[in-house]
Chain A
Amino acid sequence: MRKTAVLLTGALLLAGCNGGPPTASGKLSGDKLVLGVLNDQSGIYADLSGKNSVEAVRMAVEDFKAKYGSKAVTKNIDVVTADHQNKSDVAGSKAQELYDRNEADVILDVPQSASALAVAKVAKDKKKLYFNITAATTELTGKQCNKYTFHYAYDTYMLANGTGTAVTQQGAKNWYVVYPDYAFGQDMQKSFTAAVEKAGGKVGVKDPTPFPNDNFSTFLLKAQNMNPKPDVLGTMQAGGDLVNLVKQYNEFGLRDKGIKLSVGLMFLTDIHSLGPDAFAGTTFTDAWYWNFDAKNREFADRFMKRTNTRPTFAHAANYSAALQYLEAVQRAGTDASDDVVKTLEGHAFEDVFARGGKIRAEDHRVIHDAYLAEVKPKSAVTEAWDYEKILRTIPAAEAFRPVGESGCTFS
């Protein structure tokens, strides 16, 4: 009788250990981690992010494995990828597919604001993690924020706050702003106007331009004939439209006529498109620059070996986001979303992308140092892709929208 009781107790204890519900101190779902990269792989954002962002995420996985070795939370880490073609409906359904069929624990990247907001909604519904890297809208950490979405590299507030404020403070008080007539351009225009006016400047005229557009002569001539003449032409155009505008800005000789050029959003690939001379002296805000210091350069060299090109800030930020996600899982010891979110919120960190990095608990904005950059003249460019001179580091706490203004409530 006694023997039976001991056996039964033992059996129950064993059953308790094995058969109980998974706890925070154990296991990963399916004993593996899956990182999904959802972005544009053949359209207009393919070069600045695209396949090379997938490569950057793979680098993060390798670095994570090398760092923890046998102590890593798991050896099974997969990277899966999908193309959202810059369409928000495609982005939404691809996100569902990644979470459900590919068992992705997190989705990374997602350029194009409407697509990003669609993915954020899926993440919220499925209670799965989403790190946005390449979309610019402040809505992700504003009214449309949710507990599972984090916003990484940059946003329109940060761009405007950097460039708009700095250029105005340097004495260019009178702005003429042209912006493409769609969500991103409109959002940028508002952010820039606010930043310029806060710094004591004035946006005299702001013109929406057709999108896409290959002839900006009308606006360039208008700038010359304005009274008073603007000190600076602020362009919110991106990609091919930006290249068109800058080519024509140079043809009309606006710089010689005393009208500076200031670009709302610029990627390293844009400067490469035109050659640095066309942009020489243009100021803009960069989230990261590959040749900023030895640490960045070391990363850029490794990246170049694999991709044959230098990383844009989007590539570096994808690397960083993947790494910080893996570190968070390592700390939590589980991939259960709520536990991972807990270890991410308020977490302060440094890596090759984020200096002074911190994940704000209140709105999930990832803050980090940003940089005010100027394009070097061709004579100062000594090697391919080394186009930027960093004028100033904008400290993390100053670069991004203050928590109080975000309007985010996780509900």
Chain B
Amino acid sequence: MTNFLQQCFNGLVSGSFYGLLALGLAVIFGMLGVVNFAHGAFYMLGAFGAYVLLTEAGIDFWLALVCVPVLLAVFGGLVERFLVRWLTGLDPLYNFLLTFGITLVLQDLVKREYGVASQPYPRPAALSGTLDLGLFEYPTYQVFAFAVSVTLCLAVWLLLTRTRIGLIVRASTERPELTGALGINVRRWVTPVFAFGVGLAGLAGVLAAPMRAVNPLMGADMVIAVFAVVVIGGLGSIFGSVLAGYAVGLLQALGQLYVPGLAQILTFVLMAVVLLWRPSGLFGREEARA
């Protein structure tokens, strides 16, 4: 039983990263209609950002956790303003090509500078060791990553459901034309929303740096799983995406425990099943059926 619970917790820790990334993707897709394939690259830049700040400027993990997402959000804003915006209203294929291209360029720039081998990033001293969770012991750092992710997801949820900004963003995400018709300038919110999503990916990257391999390809592996997550949750559904993120993490962990050979395809089996049952994803909008 303890073993099972531990595995569930493992899954939730993995899910934390999926959740954070899926949250950003869902917000961006909802409002801009952009399937942002560069999300994995922004996640990778987050981890590299932390690494560079540490080695070049001696800035430690805690400060990086604040600086890097902000810097990346600014960068994301620029990408939206100067690249993504040009393709508004065109076939989504163009956005796919653009963001995929951005991924390749970012990956290769990092590769050129740092090579493909992973870079070392130490765990912050305050978070080393293990924590007694009552039923079992668990690495402190992973508990911390989980807590940060849950807190952030909750905060974003509160922001979206309890504030006026949230109301506008939600409305623009789910019914952009109708929201515009009500006299709200949807376009004004596009850049900040994109920047926010990229910032979240960067934050997930910083969180990953002490526990995962920091290399240029870390985002490429991640983004495939996160897309499956977003599709399962329902394209455009913020709540669904986050929930699916944790669920996929859980599924992968339990899969690894009971059917290790099949663990990798379980996510996609789930995706196929969900799509057969609900073509627009678990929490997707119904009209996507048409």
Residue of A nearest to B220 (CB): A212
Interface stretch (choices B62-70, B87-95, B108-116, B167-175)? B108-116
- C-alpha spacing A48/B115, complex, angstroms: 10
- C-alpha spacing A214/B211, complex, angstroms: 9
A223-266 near B? 1/0 per residue, CB < 8 Å: 00100000000000001110110011001110000000000000
A264-278 near B? 1/0 per residue, CB < 8 Å: 000001101111001
A26-56 near B? 1/0 per residue, CB < 8 Å: 0000000000000000111111100000000
B204-223 near A? 1/0 per residue, CB < 8 Å: 00001011110101100110
- C-alpha spacing A247/B122, complex, angstroms: 9
Interface residues of B in 93-112 (CB under 8 A from A): 108, 111
Count chain B CB atoms within 10 A of each CB in A48, A239, A247 and give the residue with the most. Answer: A247
How far is the CB of A16 from the nearest CB of chain B, in Å?
A: 57
When the two chains form their complex, are residues A273 and B257 in contact, meaning their CB atoms are under 8 A apart?
Answer: no
A197-220 near B? 1/0 per residue, CB < 8 Å: 000000000011111111101110
Interface residues of B in 9-24 (CB under 8 A from A): 10, 13-14
**Contacts A214-B213, A218-B257 given; does A251 touch B139 at CB 8 Å:** yes
Interface residues of B in 226-261 (CB under 8 A from A): 252-253, 256-257, 260-261
When the two chains form their complex, are residues A181 and B213 in contact, meaning their CB atoms are under 8 A apart?
Answer: no
Which residues from B are CB-within-8-Å of A380? Answer: none
Main secondary structure of the interface of B (DSSP, over half): helix
When the two chains form their complex, are residues B116 and A47 in contact, meaning their CB atoms are under 8 A apart?
Answer: yes
- C-alpha spacing A45/B116, complex, angstroms: 8
Count chain B CB atoms within 10 A of each CB in A45, A215, A274 and give the residue with the most. Answer: A215
Residue of A nearest to B112 (CB): A42
**Contacts A42-B108, A208-B261, A251-B139 given; does A214 touch B130 at CB 8 Å:** no
Residue of A nearest to B256 (CB): A218
Which residues from B are CB-within-8-Å of A253? Answer: 129-130, 139
**Contacts A214-B222, A272-B117 given; does A251 touch B264 at CB 8 Å:** no
Asked if B196 is at the interface (CB within 8 A of a chain A CB), the reply is no
Residue of A nearest to B114 (CB): A47
Q: What is the size category of the interface that chain B forms with chain A?
A: 35 or more
Which residues from B are CB-within-8-Å of A43? Answer: 116
Residue of B nearest to A212 (CB): B221
When the two chains form their complex, are residues B111 and A210 in contact, meaning their CB atoms are under 8 A apart?
Answer: no
**Contacts A217-B253, A219-B256, A251-B123 given; does A181 touch B264 at CB 8 Å:** yes
**Contacts A209-B260, A218-B10 given; does A48 touch B211 at CB 8 Å:** no
Asked if A391 is at the interface (CB within 8 A of a chain B CB), the reply is no
- C-alpha spacing A218/B130, complex, angstroms: 16
How far is the CB of A263 from the nearest CB of chain B, in Å?
A: 14
**Contacts A43-B116, A273-B117, A273-B118 given; does A209 touch B256 at CB 8 Å:** yes
B251-290 near A? 1/0 per residue, CB < 8 Å: 0110011001101100000000000000000000000000
Asked if A126 is at the interface (CB within 8 A of a chain B CB), the reply is no
When the two chains form their complex, are residues B116 and A46 in contact, meaning their CB atoms are under 8 A apart?
Answer: yes
How far is the CB of B41 from the nearest CB of chain A, in Å?
A: 15
**Contacts A244-B213, A251-B141 given; does A273 touch B260 at CB 8 Å:** no
- C-alpha spacing A252/B130, complex, angstroms: 7
Which residues from B are CB-within-8-Å of A209? Answer: 256, 260, 263
When the two chains form their complex, are residues B115 and A218 in contact, meaning their CB atoms are under 8 A apart?
Answer: no
Residue from A213, A214, A221 in contact with B6 in the complex, judged by beta carbons closer than 8 Å: A221
Residue from A48, A218, A273, A275 in contact with B213 in the complex, judged by beta carbons closer than 8 Å: A273
How far is the CB of A394 from the nearest CB of chain B, in Å?
A: 26
How far is the CB of A91 from the nearest CB of chain B, in Å?
A: 18
Residues of B in contact with A (beta carbons under 8 Å apart): 2-3, 6-7, 10, 13-14, 108, 111, 115-120, 122-123, 129-130, 139, 141-142, 208, 210-213, 215, 217-218, 221-222, 252-253, 256-257, 260-261, 263-264
14 A-B contact pairs sorted by A residue (CB < 8 Å): A46-B111, A181-B264, A207-B260, A208-B261, A214-B208, A214-B212, A215-B10, A217-B10, A218-B7, A218-B257, A219-B260, A222-B3, A247-B212, A251-B141
Residues of A in contact with B (beta carbons under 8 Å apart): 42-48, 181, 207-215, 217-219, 221-222, 225, 239-241, 243-244, 247-248, 251-253, 269-270, 272-275, 278
The 5 closest A-B pairs by CB, nearest first: A243-B213, A210-B264, A251-B139, A217-B10, A218-B256
